[in-house]
Amino acid sequence: MASLKEMRNRIGSVKATQKITKAMQMVAAAKLRRAQDAAENARPYAARMASVIANLANGVSGDGAPKLLAGTGRDDKHLVVVATSDRGLAGGFNSGVARAARERIAGLLAQGKDVRIICIGRKGRDVLRRLYGERILHTYEVASAKTLTLDVVQPIAAEILSRFEAEEADVVTLFYSRFRSVISQVPTARRLIPAEVRADAASAPDLKGGVYTYEPDEASILETLLPRNLAVQLLSAMLENQAGFYAAQMSAMDNATRNAGDLIAALTLQYNRSRQAQITKELIEIISGAEAL
Amino acid sequence: MPKFHFSLVAPERELFAGEVDQVDAPGAEGDFGVLAGHEPFMTTLRPGEVIVRDGASRRIFTLQGGFADVTPESFTLLAEHATEVGLSS
């Protein structure tokens, strides 16, 4: 049986922990709002970009299509980009993305493909390093950037493009966590190269009988748009990731706060019982001492 | 004068959306102005100024390049690093 003083200390330390988790929860909630707004604000651009590319892609299929759209025609070298957060304490957020990536990598390796990895965020690297340490080319840390803008993701996009152009990669896949709602973030794989053209995004606008004119021609427009699209896709994935991270952290810290509350209640009960037991014992000693006289 | 819908979107957020009279933009092969009923047209943009006119008001944005998609009823401008520089009326 722990002494009363030990129990008091224990209760005190759980209370201190609870204060910390409570504070973290509130900070995450505030940051979540901002991250969610940022993710929503970035959506129109990505959506417009996707529909323009889908429209253009219909026009330039075949041999003339840019490699970023059509692929290299091979499927041997895979580049896997894993976007996680730099921080932890967010429940299963990072491990979910890392697990999805790990399963894919294992599957590709089993098929005899060559796999290379780029990590965005420290947590994903920490998990993947143990298994595939020699395959990790580069790790980007993004926590230092206060707000995610295109400038932040541009270097990452540039590295992916240059590796693609140097024929170090045939297929590039991005793993991130899709922000479905505050309580649900889904680890998702998105193919970056060859560019995924969503058929549903190609909504042909009403042209009133006119035909699009292109300045310069379609192929050159696509060639400037596709690299930019890569950066935009990265940005939107990272914005969703960030919103998802704060949401996951918020609920993880909410759980932790509640657990701490339960623990405090149980410990306080135990403390009161043993204090009462001690008082009773002392009374018995006094009374039996008096009776002996 | 008939109006058309113009939206100016940057990667981080939408900078402008609404009905306007005229928009001037720096196309890759020359500056162009768009009025309602413009023929369908797509072009890349070079760095420069975009001037949005609606009635007597004029809003000016600078951009570092981008992409324009014009249809008879709407004009969507996907801009890189766009900022608003002035508002004059």
Confidence of residue B60 (pLDDT cuts 50, 70, 90): very high
**Residue that wins the pLDDT comparison between A73 and A203:** A73
| Contact (CB, 8 A) for A223 and A66 | yes
Q: B14-49 pLDDT, tens per residue?
A: 888 999 999 999 998 889 999 998 888 889 899 999
Task: Evaluate if residue A189 carries a pLDDT over 60.
Answer: yes
Measured distance CA(A148)–CA(A55) in Å, rounded = 28
- pLDDT value, residue A209: 64
- Which of A98, A103, A78 is closest to A88 using CA atoms? A98
Q: Is A130 exposed, middle or buried (0-12, 13-18, 19+ CB in 10 A)?
A: exposed
Residue of B nearest to A232 (CA): B11
A41, A210, A216 ranked by CB distance to B14: nearest: A41
Interchain proximity B9–A211, CB inside 8 Å:
no
Query: The CATH number of the domain where B82 resides is what?
Result: 2.60.15.10
- pLDDT value, residue A143: 65
| Contact (CB, 8 A) for A79 and B69 | no
- Determine the average pLDDT of the residues in A34-53: 86
Interchain proximity A213–B76, CB inside 8 Å:
no
Task: Evaluate if residue A1 carries a pLDDT over 60.
Answer: no
- pLDDT value, residue A255: 95
Number of structural domains chain B divides into? 1
Interchain proximity B11–A149, CB inside 8 Å:
yes
Interstrand relation of A114-120 and A77-83 (parallel, antiparallel or unpaired): parallel
Handedness of CA A32, A35, A37, A43 (dihedral sign): negative
**In which domain, by residue range, is B59 found?**
4-88
Looking at beta carbons, which residues of chain B come within 8 Å of A225? 44, 67
pTM of the model: 0.83
Confidence of residue B74 (pLDDT cuts 50, 70, 90): confident
Residue of A nearest to B76 (CA): A48
Handedness of CA B29, B30, B36, B39 (dihedral sign): negative
Task: Evaluate if residue A2 carries a pLDDT over 60.
Answer: yes
* CATH superfamily entry for domain A34-198+211-249: ATP synthase, F1 complex, gamma subunit (3.40.1380.10)
Measured distance CA(B16)–CA(B88) in Å, rounded = 16
| Contact with chain A for residue B62, Cβ under 8 A | no
Measured distance CA(A168)–CA(A161) in Å, rounded = 10
